[in-house]
Amino acid sequence: RRVLGARLWGGLLRATFYGQFVGGETPGEVMAAAERLRAVGLRPMLALPTEEDVGQDKDGYVGRAVG
């Protein structure tokens, strides 16, 4: 990333790993990718990530255990 810069690094990831496994960044892009797969006889499977930072609740509050 330091050598290529953020913009070129992002483009490289999209053209390789990211582009292979991610259907899109918006619902419209995901639907378009799914339609392209269906057009060639493939059935897409969506796996939605559920990521959460350790130590943060769903509102982003970083709490501390009391007791």
0.85 surpassed by pTM: no
Centre a 10 Å sphere on the Cβ of residue 18 and count the other Cβ atoms it contains: 13
Start-to-end Cα distance in the chain: 43
> What pLDDT, in 10s, does the model give residues 8-46?
887 887 778 777 778 888 889 889 989 999 999 999 888
Task: Enumerate the domain spans of the chain.
Answer: 2-40
Nearest residue to 14 via CA among 3, 25, 28: 25
Structure tokens at 31: 């639907």
Nearest residue to 45 via CA among 18, 14, 21, 16: 21
CA–CA separation, 3 vs 5, rounded Å? 6
